[in-house]
Amino acid sequence: MQRAEPTLKARAVKRQFGHRVVLQDISVEVSGGDFLMLVGHNGAGKTTLIRVLAGLLRPTAGTVQRSGATGMVAHSSMLYDALTARENLAFHGRLHGKNDPALVQRILEQMGLAPHGDRRVATFSRGMVQRLSIGRALLPDPEVLLLDEPLTGLDDAAAGIVREVLQDLKRRGRAVVVATHQLVEVVDLATTVGFLVGGRLAGLEPVAGRDAHAVMARYRELAANG
């Protein structure tokens, strides 16, 4: 079967800040239905890679090509504390050319935040902010969704909602890239795992039924080999 045209394609990406090289020679591509899980220790370059793939950072060398809308969930929520959840989504919707109150309501419901839609974000818990941030990223109906530690600070119920969203995206043929330490939560959804070691992609392999322990064992093996 012929493989679909990649939704996101990075070629020989290098990124440095001053003299410090954070990413080196990263090549990766994802197509609709792909679920790439990025694994790496703190400082391995996961966040920088996600930001480069999203277009928020320009690569020092190499290229990144995206087709279609891109959504991103980062450590920071990209939300305004003084606005309500509904106002935040409506504002981002307008930026994406989707001035649609029904869409905003649907996303609030999907993220389990409908009863809190008219509350200011400043009054939200960390988990609620994270769910709203994911809702914000879903507004443009992205072809590819990039998530940096999306499950941090979420309780089981909230993590369940996020997992449902990710499953739904995969089912609908969207591409997903997740950088996470919480492998247990997403390893069964992932199709591919990328091992980031010291800013290099030490391996890009199919998950092939491996569990979180097996993935981490493989990461340690690659990290030990440098």
Partner 1 sequence: MGSFWTAALAIAAKDMKIEWRTKTAFASALVFAVLVLAVFYFARDPTAVGALDIAPGALWVTFTFAAMLGLNRAFMLESENRAMDGLLLAPIPPSAIFVGKFLGNLTFVGVVELVSLPLFILFYDLPIIRQLPALMGVIAMATVAFVAVGTLLSSMVVRTRFAELMLPVLLLPFLIPPIVGAVQLTSRVLSGRPLSDLAGWLKLLASFDIIFVILCFFLFEATLEE
Give contact residues for partner 1 (rule: CB under 8 A). Answer: 54-58, 69-72, 74, 76-83, 87, 91-92, 94-97, 99, 136, 140
Q: Closer CB to partner 1, residue 81 or residue 221?
A: 81
Q: Closer CB to partner 1, residue 57 or residue 165?
A: 57
Closest of 114, 99, 193 to residue 131, by C-alpha = 114
CB of residue 82 to partner 1, shortest distance in Å: 5
Q: Closer CB to partner 1, residue 80 or residue 212?
A: 80
Q: Closer CB to partner 1, residue 130 or residue 180?
A: 130
CB of residue 76 to partner 1, shortest distance in Å: 4
Q: Closer CB to partner 1, residue 83 or residue 204?
A: 83
CB of residue 190 to partner 1, shortest distance in Å: 23
CB of residue 57 to partner 1, shortest distance in Å: 6
How many residues can be counted in the chain?
Answer: 226
What 3 state SS string does 3-41 have?
CCCCCEEEEEEEEEECCEEEEEEEEEEECCCCEEEEECC
Cβ atoms of 107 and 45 closer than 8 Å: no
CB of residue 72 to partner 1, shortest distance in Å: 6
**Amino acid, res. 208:** A
Identify the H or E element spanning 128: helix 126-138
DSSP 3-state of 61 = strand
Cβ atoms of 146 and 177 closer than 8 Å: yes
Closest of 63, 4, 51 to residue 177, by C-alpha = 51
Give ∠ CA 198-76-15 in degrees, rounded to 5: 30
CB of residue 217 to partner 1, shortest distance in Å: 34
Closest of 50, 16, 18, 3 to residue 178, by C-alpha = 50
Q: Closer CB to partner 1, residue 48 or residue 215?
A: 48
Q: Closer CB to partner 1, residue 73 or residue 154?
A: 73
- Burial code (b: 16+ CB inside 10 Å, e: under 16) for 130-163 equals bbbbbbbbbbbebbbbbbbbbbeebeeebbebbb
CB of residue 107 to partner 1, shortest distance in Å: 15
